Amino acid sequence: MKPDEIDAMVPRWEEAGLSPSLIAALELGKRMSRLHLIFDQAVKAELAELGLTYAEFDVLAALSRAAAPYRMKPSELSKALFLTSGGISNVLQRLTAAGYVEREANAGDARSRWVQLTDEGRRVTDAALEASGRAYSEVTAGIPDEVVRGAADTLREVLSHVGRRRYR
């Protein structure tokens, strides 16, 4: 296996007297951060060509996953995407202005509104999903499928242990 930039940090951690288990955890965190940055940059570059931010794409994708007629309440979007109500509001204003979503009254609850994909919103969401998939494929190009599958499965195992924990 070829050394990477994270391997260069290990001797300093060893010299500092860190335990092997802590060093392994640091390597895991640093590599996950590095991979996240690489995937994030690739996806954002593709989305920028469509005139979308990642937050806008996230909202459009969430709406597209909802059952037809592809609508959710802003509070549901906020929870699903881990965004504040103010953050969702700003994104929805931009998507509404672009014609990708429309807001309509909720007949069942006068205090809330629905956010729904427009036909143009569905079209741009499909293009953005394709672009996102292309970015992921480009990042993982040349890596054997079994290596990608193994890494994904191993990270699932890690997340099953730490995913429900809350930290300050």
Q: Which parts of the chain fold into alpha helices (H)? A: 10-15, 20-49, 54-65, 74-81, 85-98, 119-140, 145-162
Banded model confidence at residue 31, pLDDT cuts 50, 70, 90: very high
Higher pLDDT, 166 or 62: 62
The string of pLDDT tens digits covering residues 76-115 is 999 889 888 888 999 999 999 999 999 987 777 767 788 9
Confidence of residue 168 (pLDDT cuts 50, 70, 90): low
For the segment 147-168, the average pLDDT, to the nearest whole number, is 87
CB 92 within 8 A of CB 115: yes
Identify the residue whose tokens are 């924990």: 165
Is domain 52-136 annotated with CATH 1.10.3720.10?
no
Encoded tokens for 108? 């069942």
Would you kindly state where each structural domain of the chain is located, as residue ranges?
Answer: 1-49, 52-136
Going by pLDDT thresholds of 50, 70 and 90, the confidence category of residue 119 is very high
